[in-house]
Amino acid sequence: MSSAPASKSQDQPRGTVRLCLLLLLPICVSPTVISPSTNPGIKAWLTRRTLEFGRHFGLELLQSMLRKEHELNLTGSYSIPLLGTLTYTVPRIHIHELQMNESTLDFAEDVGVRLMVQHARIQLSADWAAQLGAVQDSSSVQLRMQDLAVAAVLGVSEDGSGHPTVWSAGCDTHGTDLHMEFHRGYSWLYNLLAPLLQRTLRQRLNKELCLVLQRGIDRLDAVLKHMKVSTQLDAFAALDHSLLGPPAFTDEYGDIALKGEIFRVGTYQQRPSALPVGLPVALPMALPVALPTPLPVAPPMTHEPMLLLAVTEFVANSAAFTYFTAGALRRTISSDMLPRRFPLQLRTKSMEVFSPQLQERYPDQPMELHLWARQQPLLSCHPDALHGTLFSSAEAFVVLPNATRVPAFLLNIDANVTGKPTISRNRLGGTVRLTELHVTQVASNVGPVEVSGCARKAKRSLEFPITLGARSGGNLGCCEPHAWQVKRLETILKFGLWLFGIPQANKRLRAGIPLPLPHGLSLLRPQLSLQQGFVLIATDLQYEP
């Protein structure tokens, strides 16, 4: 009998807790075969309130881009009667103030988002160089433009590698009231000519503002190309949140599909049998919606959430596959790790009632239990709760005084659990409940672990196979020697898990893990509901630098 490989994560309970929380996400088996390469693990719907939330930051970004020195290279000439031709150059401008009092941000169908600004004000300064005949002069000019209107469309797509990409899909600025005042040099002359110069400068400034916006969008696109599209969760796993394709936009909302696959750090071994649940192409429900609360009656939401986030079973299944193949679902339990009141202690004396030969061979010696998942958990999701079946093996060892570990017996321990995820602020938590436990003896070096009449009958069948075969036709039924059912041990383990194991697990699960959100961004009043096939999170957003 071979023992389980030594665990590399015995002292890393955080990884186990993270897996449990990920499994409390949508773990639903879809009856339809869907290709994971074209269907999202995570899908987000941005509402109009998302744009209202982002408008404030978008305007701040726009203002920060404009409040800088910009190359202008404006040249022109004007014929002055009796004096000749005035040639002027404005090499650069510096924007000091930009007020956008009336602005809206809306979805642009099939393109991205549209910014509309009305009655804005802008104040800037510029250097001025002029030549009139053989006379050269330089001065400065102050400009104020009132009643400025800006209309810009930002296109949003995907660059083919999962990164978002943006571009200027349209821009128009229009300012009618331009006031200019010259200082230094022949400013008295230029101020006299100001009404004649305003039309040319106003047209050029309107065009220049769009060019400044274009350059700012290009810089933003360059940043997005280098943005990380995966986040490492722990030493074992990372989350791939790259775009699966271009976002879809209607007049009402934006629809973003993310891959949502959890993969092993240092490698990318896609789970071959992952079948993500198909999500609706439109919003999953009309807003406002009724979401579950601890109250007997679920009140409707009083407002449309900023963000709707659906997470499918593909996320949880890829997490289970990653942690399973990485060997993270293993644990070694020693005799001093169990609570004193636990009904079954890891000593040969405590095991005497189940295996008399164990106590006879190794009187009152400590034991060690190696636990590991022998196959990936099977998971399903329903509106009432999440359901999972866990397949594990446990090998018991006797720890001799010289620290040698002698294999005793090998059990298969399978469990059915239900769980409910919870979300609070920026942390994902949950609770689990054990619904069924099944223990089977696979092999033993100390005789059968006999705890029931069926097991004792199986032992007699091994001692007198001919007699038992004559009586029963050779059919041992449930007591086949390769799968003895250890009912009393099973009952005690159930009791111990219900009394100690599950409460301890829920204590850690309730604490939760932080969600991988951008710095400064928080979920505000998040609500979580279980759907058939996915978990839906409806939340507002808050930003605190």
d(CA 421, CA 406): 41
Return the pLDDT at 399. Answer: 95
Return the pLDDT at 292. Answer: 35
The answer to whether 198 and 180 are in contact (CB under 8 A) is yes
3-class secondary-structure state, position 327 = coil
> In sequence order, what are the residues at sequence separation of 6 or more whose Cβ sits closer than 8 angstroms to the Cβ of residue 161?
229, 242
Return the pLDDT at 332. Answer: 94
Return the pLDDT at 416. Answer: 92
The answer to whether 203 and 140 are in contact (CB under 8 A) is no
Low-confidence ranges of the chain (pLDDT < 70): 1-38, 65, 268-303, 450-485, 545
Return the pLDDT at 28. Answer: 35
Return the pLDDT at 154. Answer: 93
Return the pLDDT at 324. Answer: 92
SS3 of 526-537? EEEEECCCEEEE
Q: Which pLDDT tens digit goes with each residue over 451-506?
A: 443 433 333 333 333 222 232 333 333 334 434 457 888 888 888 888 888 998 89
Return the pLDDT at 283. Answer: 56
Return the pLDDT at 398. Answer: 96
Tally DSSP H helices, then E strands, for the chain. Answer: 9, 23
Return the pLDDT at 479. Answer: 39
Return the pLDDT at 296. Answer: 31
Q: HSE-up of 512 (CA within 13 Å, CB side)?
A: 16
Return the pLDDT at 391. Answer: 94
